[in-house]
Amino acid sequence: MSSYENAQRLRMSAHLREARTELLTCGGPACPQALRKDCLHWLEEVDRSLPSVVLAVRSGSEDLVDVRVSVDGALLATHLDGAAITVDPGTRLFRFEAPGYEAQERKVVIREGEKSRVLTVELRSTSAAPRSKKSKAPAITLAAVAVVGLGCFTYFGLKGMSGKSDLEPCKGHCPQGDVDNVSRDFLVADISLGVGVLALGAASYFFFSDRSSSTSAAQRPVWIDLSSGRGVAGATLGGHF
């Protein structure tokens, strides 16, 4: 009689796995015929309602089979072979553990009557080297250089244009010192523009690139070489990319 009563109580509380075990007992030949009939009928209902999951645990492209799986703290499986495993309906906390891998927990809503639901979990090897975070320092530095360069280009360009305008009345016989000052302003403006454009391009590269190199972006040196001569200016960007 106890299995008969326990089965009803477990069914009502959605503990379908335990209810099924009790129904198999009370549906056996040891129980009275009248009770067996009820138990076998309820067993069919429980089998229809009892959900099941197929657990797929992987690490990269490798399927892991020696995995300890628990649900709400209770052991569910220690070896995965691709077969469906019954689980009581409700919100369940799955925990996956395998030697040499980081354990992972996953909360899943198991729906009554849902059969062979595939749960895929990726475990990370404990020996895997953590991926270093990408440094944005070079991008920030180069962006600042670009802002300064373009700002200097604007300032000295406008200053040169103003000086050139002031020399228009004496064109052809202006003091050489004044002419040199205007030429210097335009030269500095040209150098600043070159530096600003190069720095902006390099900053964009470092900001948007996603390199997997073991050497971080912060460790890859970057430099800007400025050069000028009589009437000639130049800027060169260098570094390890």
Structural domain that includes position 200:
137-239
Count Cβ atoms within 10 A of the Cβ of residue 111 and give its class: 0-12 exposed, 13-18 middle, 19 or more buried: exposed
Mean pLDDT across the chain, nearest whole number? 82
Is residue 176 located within the same domain as residue 227? yes
Is residue 62 located within the same domain as residue 40? no
Q: In the prediction, which pLDDT does 178 show?
A: 80
Asked if the structure places residue 130 within a domain, the reply is no
Is residue 208 located within the same domain as residue 185? yes
Is residue 145 located within the same domain as residue 235? yes
Please state the domain count of the chain: 3
Long-range (24+ apart) CB contacts under 8 A made by 109-117 are 110/51, 110/53, 111/51, 112/14, 112/49, 112/51, 113/48, 113/49, 113/51, 114/51, 114/52, 115/51, 115/52, 115/84, 116/52, 116/53, 116/54, 116/84, 117/51, 117/52, 117/53, 117/54
Q: In the prediction, which pLDDT does 145 show?
A: 81
Is residue 62 located within the same domain as residue 25? no
Per residue in 183-196, is it b (16+ CB within 10 Å) or e — as a string? Answer: eebbbbbbbbbbbb
Q: What is the pLDDT of residues 154-211, one digit of tens each?
A: 888 888 788 888 888 887 788 888 878 878 888 888 888 888 788 788 878 777 775 4
Is residue 57 located within the same domain as residue 116? yes
Is residue 57 located within the same domain as residue 41? no
Is residue 232 located within the same domain as residue 143? yes
Contact 46, 19 (CB under 8 A): yes
Is residue 118 located within the same domain as residue 210? no
Is residue 36 located within the same domain as residue 57? no
Is residue 40 located within the same domain as residue 58? no
Q: What is the pLDDT of residues 113-138, one digit of tens each?
A: 999 999 999 999 988 655 555 667 77
Q: Taking 90 as the threshold, does the pLDDT of residue 102 lie above it?
A: yes
Q: In the prediction, which pLDDT does 116 show?
A: 94
- The β-bridge partners of 69 are 77, 96
Which is nearest to 80 in space by CA: 51, 106, 55? 55
Q: What is the pLDDT of residues 7-62, one digit of tens each?
A: 889 988 889 999 999 999 888 888 888 888 888 999 999 999 999 999 999 998 89
First and final C-alpha spacing in the chain: 78
Q: pTM for the full model?
A: 0.51
